[in-house]
């Protein structure tokens, strides 16, 4: 027991957090621009040197090193299956925290048009599903052949009808694909089983990240990349919610993570309807849920964030604050210069409003929604799609703009229930905190060995935030 370094190879910055393993105390953190395009160890070395100078330790004093990575914003995953709606749901749940985000879904048999779209998207990974166990085999076999003859050659996770899984593997292997077999994501009609696929996608993510420039040498110094950063954050959220040993949990938790490439929302709650006369539409929601919004980032995705602001319903005060040529030019500059930090007051204001916009859109996408539906008797009833978060107890903001920003209450406030849109089931009156030490990812890593210490670390990092 002694000193631990917890590292995140992020899309924009590489972060290093130092922890006292004797007390579970946060000692300090440093970051440097990520150097994924050259050698990721360069950015890590710079961050570690900064931390060593600040805390006065040497590399020989470090007893434990654990690393996560979200470099390049995670893997872009395309899902191919029999029924589009179910395939999309299964793929999104399988990608939950595993380092991937679903960019396209193709249903039924692939044809020349969909193959062109698949080739255009050029995914990092394909999830191939189709058919319940013992059910339809024609579609998944057809799609395996079509993927094989296409120009894209990413790894393929086969998560369909177990009856022909080995045959599918053989077809894809013959065409040069690396193939990962896992359990069927839908073994029976309307029954989802995504844990095996999620673990397999995580394995692909780790393999892919290790192949990035420089990361193949990370294992010589750090050991293996333990997990994707989103999984570390979700793990910490679950642990904080449920508690461990003598450390009590806090109940339902929502985490808003605003980053340079994506904005992620994690919730740990049942999300069941609050009102007795509201029924649930669709598949049961996962208790621990994560959504990742690849178009909502403050640096890598700054211009796509502006596009999303234009397309989406947006509070007038945010839209007005981000209109104008100066803001557009600033966001274009940030996309091309991702390591840029705000210094002037106007730069801070633009970053804060960008984060507020990302918070509003991401939380609205993540939360459930009430809709009216016709009953069999011709009357109307209220149904709920997604999670009801209105009674959420705790809302935590993490990420640089929240940990070190000047107005976190502005960003977190946009996650809350909006009376002008009462059908969006966002939190009404949660206790709000900022992860002031940027410890969510670090706690998730530490929890793999010392869960009680991880809870203590994060609780000590939480700073209460109130909206005036």
Residues 283-309 have a mean pLDDT of 87
Residues 131-135 have a mean pLDDT of 90
HEC string of the chain? CCEEEEEEECCCEEEEEEEECCCCEEEEEEEEECCCCCCHHHHHHHHHHHHHHHHCCCHHHEEEEEEEECHHHCEEEEEEECCHHHHHHHHHHHHCCCCEEEEEEEECCCCHHHHHHHHHHCCCEEEECCCCCCCCCHHHHHHHHHHHHCCCCCCEEECCCHHHHHHHHHHHHHCCCCEEECCCCCCECCECCCHHHHHHHHHHHHHHHHCCCCHHHHHHHHCCEEEEHHHHHHHHHHHHHHEECCEECCCCEEEEEECCCCEEEEEECCCCCCCCCCEEECCCCCCEEEEEECCCCCCCCHHHHHHHHHHCCCCHHHHHHHCCHHHHHHHHHHHHCCCCCCCCHHHHHHHHHHHHHHHHHHHHHHCCEEEEEECCCCCEEEEEECCCCCCCCEEEEECHHHHCCCCHHHHHHCCCCCCCCCCECCCCCCEEEEECCCCHHHHHHHCCCCHHHHHHHHHHHEEEECCC
Mean of all residue pLDDT scores within the chain: 88
For the cut 70, the answer to whether the pLDDT of residue 103 exceeds it is yes
- Minimum mean pLDDT range among 127-131, 209-213, 283-287, 360-364: 209-213
Residues 261-270 have a mean pLDDT of 92
The pLDDT tens digits of the residues spanning 239-261 come to: 999 999 888 899 999 999 998 88
For the cut 90, the answer to whether the pLDDT of residue 417 exceeds it is yes
For the cut 60, the answer to whether the pLDDT of residue 213 exceeds it is no
pLDDT at 182: 94
pLDDT at 320: 84
pLDDT at 457: 96
The pLDDT tens digits of the residues spanning 155-167 come to: 999 999 999 999 9
For the cut 70, the answer to whether the pLDDT of residue 75 exceeds it is yes
Single pTM value for the model: 0.82
Residues 49-58 have a mean pLDDT of 93
Residues 15-35 have a mean pLDDT of 92
Between 235 and 89, the more confident residue is 235
């Amino acid at each position: 027991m002694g000193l631990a370094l917890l590292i995140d190879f992020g899309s924009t910055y590489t972060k290093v957090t130092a922890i006292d393993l004797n007390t579970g105390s946060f000692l300090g953190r440093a970051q440097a621009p990520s150097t994924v395009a050259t050698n990721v160890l360069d950015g890590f070395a710079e961050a570690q040197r900064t931390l060593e100078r600040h805390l006065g330790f040497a590399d020989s004093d470090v007893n434990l090193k654990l690393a996560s990575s979200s470099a390049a914003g995670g893997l872009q995953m395309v899902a191919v299956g029999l029924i589009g709606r179910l395939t999309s749901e299964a793929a999104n749940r399988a990608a939950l925290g595993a380092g991937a985000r679903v960019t396209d879904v193709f249903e039924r048999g692939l044809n020349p048009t969909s193959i062109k779209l698949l080739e255009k998207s050029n995914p990092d990974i394909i999830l191939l599903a189709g058919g319940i166990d013992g059910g339809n085999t024609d579609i998944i076999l057809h799609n395996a052949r079509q993927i094989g003859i296409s120009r894209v050659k990413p790894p393929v996770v086969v998560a369909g009808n177990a009856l022909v899984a080995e045959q599918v593997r053989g077809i894809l292997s013959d065409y040069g694909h690396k193939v990962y077999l896992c359990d069927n994501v839908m073994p029976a009609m309307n029954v989802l089983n995504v844990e095996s696929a999620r673990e397999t996608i995580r394995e692909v993510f780790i393999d892919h990240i290790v192949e990035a420039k420089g990361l193949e040498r990370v294992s010589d110094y750090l050991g293996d990349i333990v997990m994707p950063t989103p999984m570390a954050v979700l793990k910490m959220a679950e642990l904080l919610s449920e508690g461990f040993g003598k450390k009590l949990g806090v109940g339902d938790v929502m985490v808003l993570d605003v980053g340079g490439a994506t904005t992620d929302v994690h919730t740990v709650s049942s999300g069941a309807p609050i009102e007795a006369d509201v029924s649930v539409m669709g598949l049961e929601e996962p208790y621990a849920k994560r959504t990742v919004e690849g178009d909502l980032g403050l640096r890598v995705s700054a211009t796509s964030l502006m596009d999303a602001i234009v397309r989406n319903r947006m509070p007038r005060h945010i839209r007005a604050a981000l209109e104008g040529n100066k803001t557009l030019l600033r966001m274009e500059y940030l996309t091309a210069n991702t390591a840029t930090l705000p210094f002037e007051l106007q730069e801070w204001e633009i970053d804060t409003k960008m984060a507020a916009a990302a918070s509003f859109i991401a939380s609205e996408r993540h939360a459930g929604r009430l809709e009216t539906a016709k009953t069999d008797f011709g009357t109307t009833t209220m149904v709920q799609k997604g999670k009801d978060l209105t009674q959420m107890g705790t809302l935590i903001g993490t990420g640089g703009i929240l940990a070190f920003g000047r107005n976190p209450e502005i960003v977190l406030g946009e996650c809350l229930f909006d009376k002008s849109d009462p059908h969006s089931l966002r939190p009404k009156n949660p206790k709000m905190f900022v992860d002031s030490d940027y410890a969510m990812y670090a706690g998730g890593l530490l929890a793999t060995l010392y869960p009680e210490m991880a809870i203590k670390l994060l609780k000590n990092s939480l700073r209460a935030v109130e909206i005036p």
